A and B are shown apart, each in its own frame.
Chain A
């Protein structure tokens, strides 16, 4: 007997999505994760526009991983123009990306609290997490110019340079933010504070193949972007059309295989992370926030305020480029083609959730429906990003 469970709007994920599960004896046999957010069409939106607008525009694909998109787009356009920002520019860019990574991960942990943290501690943990979110958002405001969509981040480096006193201030405060984060960690990871769902996910071993290009920033030479193929969701599923036809997304494969991207992939490839259970994704995410704090500290030490932050005399011209960046949710790839006046001719992007969706559906087989819903959240799907991507030839 196949029993059908349908969750019309999955709560506590970024964006709108539907979850359809087929169960047998209380265990999930098949899962459909159908994103239903409208396609805003950002690749088409930037066509014919100035590359400087493109960076501002693609930031607005997503309000959670804005900096990741801006970094990838700026990298791609710089690659096309054949320029490289000065060291300070690259460092600040990396710092902004890490601040964004912490923002995004912390928010994901807030959404996850309902599943993993026992009720007595739940609200308190959420408030503490949000206070860390507030403190770290201040870094984006001071370095990048806004708490979301940092406007100083642009092609060639940084548009406006933060004052030296601001940099010193940020440097002294980072320890404080870090310690308030470390205070919360036990409530998210240690046994007495965790729910049954967490225990069920600890039992489930799931070891897919991993893809990551860098621990902190992203490196286009560490992966082969040409081998990525994408198909619309309904083609990938190939059956149950009445469920899949509502989907507004595509899924992606690397070298014809499904791969997991995101915190666990990065930690496995670059940090010899050990946990193979689904709960390991949660642990990897927490670990990543901790090391991100360390790296921000390092970067703030290395910035030299007396040197340049941006490439001088940028000339727009024709060209092609690729930008690869490790977004909070995994490897993000932007392709750009500029026409002879330097305007955008073609823009394409591959976002991490496209890789993860097939795996999310695979991972839940054999779990209870309650845990299956939690796994969807655990992979931290970002629907706004995923529903705005175009098919590659």
Chain B
């Protein structure tokens, strides 16, 4: 079987996602041929890739990064946004600029604000196991399992506040506690079987929303409709 030809590009992330991708990729290297900066001898890019994975948010005040993202879109049929910064903005949603030596870097957006994204994998960072399963689902073409990633690609922001608004306040919450376990900052704690959001700790990564069995169902229904 021919390997899936993929390319990884980082446009200003914290590198945490890159390490996740590297670890996940090494476990599926028999089926995937991924060019990642950590293992490349020289930067080299072909014209076409089956899949391009982008990590990091787009700095809207740096025209060359916007152009780069647009060019990457042209090079592939499957563009994947990896990590919360790339999918929903994540911690970059808090940026306000004004910092030396480049105070003009004020606004950061997720990739889906610039170009159409095919799959979004949120998390801060998503685990290496997530990378492995994503590649596996993609290669075997199991659309049902990829549906959630597809659904995320249409969304530009998601946070613990949305979880409270859409699931807890509407009475859909079943008190399973997955949100508490999935939160990368321990911002959610279950009190009387309902999540309580410690507002100042939420970094808007959206992991809780995607992991919530009810919320993810809602997201997938939107894609199907």
The answer to whether A and B belong to the same complex is yes
Binding site for B on A (CB under 8 A): 7-12, 14-16, 37-45, 49-50, 52-53, 56-57, 60-64, 66, 107, 110-111, 114, 126-127, 130, 133-134, 137, 145-149, 151-152, 159-160, 232-233, 247-250, 382, 384, 388-391
- Asked if A232 and B41 make an inter-chain contact with CB atoms under 8 angstroms apart, the answer reads no
- Nearest-CB residue, chain B, relative to A107: B19
A-B contacts, 10 listed (Cβ < 8 Å): A38-B65, A41-B99, A44-B99, A45-B95, A45-B96, A62-B14, A64-B19, A110-B38, A134-B23, A384-B15
- Give the shortest distance, in Å, between B13 (CB) and chain A (any CB): 7
Chain A residues with CB under 8 Å of B128's CB are: 134, 147
CA distance in complex: A37, B14 (Å): 10
B64's nearest neighbour on chain A, judged by CB, is A36
Q: How far is the CA of A250 from the CA of B103 in the complex (A)?
A: 13
> Number of A-B pairs whose CB atoms are under 8 Å?
152
Answer yes or no: B20 CB below 8 A from chain A CBs: yes
Q: Tell whether B127 is near chain A: CB-to-CB under 8 Å.
A: yes
The answer to whether A133 and B23 touch across the interface, beta carbons within 8 angstroms, is yes
Which residues of B are found within 8 Å of A52, using beta-carbon distances? 200-201
> Min CB distance, A175 to chain B, in Å?
23
Provide the main secondary structure of the chain B interface: loop
User: How many Å lie between the Cα of A249 and that of B38 in the bound state?
Assistant: 22
Chain B residue contacts of A146, Cβ below 8 A: 184
Determine the chain B residues whose CB is within 8 A of the CB of A107 once the complex forms. Answer: 19, 38
- CB distance B13 to A384 under 8 Å? yes
Interface size in chain B (residues, C-beta < 8 A): 50
Q: Which residue of B lies closest to A126 (CB)?
A: B39
Tell whether B133 is near chain A: CB-to-CB under 8 Å. no
B138 at the interface (CB under 8 A from A): no
B101 within 8 Å of A (CB atoms): yes
8 Å CB contact of B99 from A39, A56, A64 = A39
Contact yes or no, B124 A60, CB < 8 A = yes
The 4 closest A-B pairs by CB, nearest first: A63-B16, A38-B59, A41-B99, A63-B15
Inter-chain CA distance A70–B98, complex, in Å, is 23
- The interface residues of chain B lying within 8 Å CB-to-CB of A41 are 95-99, 105
Whether, in the assembled complex, B166 has its beta carbon less than 8 Å from a beta carbon of chain A, the answer is: no
Q: Does B7 contact A (CB under 8 A)?
A: no
Across-interface contacts of B22 in A (CB, < 8 A):
110, 130
User: In the complex the two chains form, is A56's CB within 8 Å of B17's CB?
Assistant: no
A171 and B186 alpha carbons, distance in the complex (Å): 25
Beyond A56-B203, A63-B18, A147-B128, 11 additional contacts (C-beta under 8 Å) are A12-B38, A12-B39, A41-B99, A45-B96, A52-B200, A57-B203, A63-B19, A111-B38, A147-B127, A151-B184, A250-B101
**Please, how many angstroms separate the alpha-carbon atoms of A11 and B40 in the complex?**
6
Query: What distance in Å separates the Cβ of B184 from its nearest Cβ neighbour in chain A?
Result: 6
Task: Judge whether B137 is part of the interface by a CB distance below 8 angstroms.
Answer: no
CB distance from A314 to the nearest CB of B (A): 14
List the B side residues contacting A391 at CB < 8 Å: 100-101
Asked if residues A61 and B200 are in contact (CB atoms below 8 Å), the reply is: no
Q: Which chain B residues have a beta carbon within 8 Å of chain A's beta carbons?
A: 10-20, 22-23, 26, 37-43, 59, 61-62, 65, 90-92, 94-102, 105, 108, 124-125, 127-128, 183-186, 200-201, 203
**Pick from B14, B26, B37, B101: contact of A60, CB under 8 Å:** B14
The verdict on A63 contacting B17 (CB below 8 Å), with A12-B38, A130-B26 known, is: yes
Measured CB to CB, the nearest residue on chain A to B101 is: A232
Contacts of B201 in A (CB 8 A): 52-53, 56
Q: How far is the CB of A41 from chain B (nearest CB, A)?
A: 4
User: Complex formed: what's the CA distance from A88 to B90 in Å?
Assistant: 32
Determine if B39 and A39 form an interchain contact, defined as CB atoms under 8 angstroms apart.
no
Q: What separation, in Å, do the CA atoms of A114 and B94 have in the docked complex?
A: 38
Contact of B200 among A53, A111, A232 (CB under 8 A): A53
Is the Cβ of A50 less than 8 Å from the Cβ of B43?
no
The answer on a CB contact under 8 Å between B124 and A14 is no
A8 touches B43 (CB 8 A): yes
Partner of A151, one of B10, B102, B186: B186
Complex contacts, B15 vs chain A, CB 8 Å: 14-15, 62-64, 382, 384
Closest chain A residue, CB of each to CB of B10:
A16
CB-defined contacts of A147 to chain B, threshold 8 Å: 20, 127-128
Whether the pair A249, B101 counts as a contact (CB closer than 8 A) is: yes
* Residue in A53, A63, A107, A384 with the greatest tally of chain B CB atoms within 10 Å: A63
- Chain A residues in 8 Å Cβ range of B62: 38
Within the assembled complex, what's the spacing in Å between the Cα atoms of A146 and B187?
14
Given A127-B26, A390-B99, residue A11 in contact with residue B18 (CB < 8 A) = no
Contact call B40/A39, Cβ cutoff below 8 A: no
Q: How long is the Cα–Cα vector from A250 to B22 in the complex, in angstroms?
A: 29
Alpha-carbon gap, A391 to B40, bound state (A): 34
> Which of chain A's residues have a CB closer than 8 A to the CB of B40?
11-12
Docked-complex contact B12 and A40, CB < 8 angstroms: yes
Q: Output the least CB separation between A141 and chain B (Å).
A: 9
Cβ distance B88 to chain A, nearest Cβ, rounded Å:
14
Task: Evaluate whether A64 and B16 lie within 8 angstroms (CB atoms) in the complex, with A39-B101, A57-B94, A159-B186 already known.
Answer: yes
Chain B residues near A382: list those with CB within 8 A: 15
Q: Which of B14, B15, B23 has the most CB of A within 10 A?
A: B14
User: How far is the CB of B160 from the nearest CB of chain A, in Å?
Assistant: 13
CB distance from A162 to the nearest CB of B (A): 14
**B55–chain A nearest beta-carbon distance, Å:** 9
Task: Name the B residues within 8 Å of A45 (CB-CB).
Answer: 91, 94-96
Contacts of A148 in B (CB 8 A): 16, 19-20, 125
Partner of A40, one of B37, B65, B105: B105
Chain B residues within an 8 Å CB radius of A159: 186
